[in-house]
Amino acid sequence: MIFIWLIVIAVVAVVIVLIVNSAKQSQGRSPGLDSSHSSAVEKVKERYAKGEIDREEYKQIMEDLKE
């Protein structure tokens, strides 16, 4: 009986560790790359809206950011 409970506890612990690792990996990957890219795009859009850069510069920067 004790052996069964130890197995259940071990399985629950493994599941918790897998969930935590999965959450850490998803936070580490996407937001870093995506947020910095969207942040750059937003800054370029703001600069264009304020008139700091012209249409050609805007197009060139946006094209460069796609790469």
The region that residue 51 occupies, defined by phi over 0 for left and psi between -120 and 50 for alpha, beta otherwise, is left
Q: Tens of pLDDT along the chain (67 residues)?
A: 888 999 999 999 999 999 988 887 766 554 555 567 788 899 999 999 999 999 999 999 999 988 7
- The label of the residue with tokens 């012209």 reads 54
> What total of structural domains would you count in the chain?
1
Report the distance separating Cα 47 and Cα 54, nearest Å: 9
Domain coverage including residue 20: 2-66
Give the CA-trace dihedral at 5, 6, 7, 13, to 10 degrees: 110
Supply φ then ψ for residue 52, to 5 degrees.
Answer: -75, -30
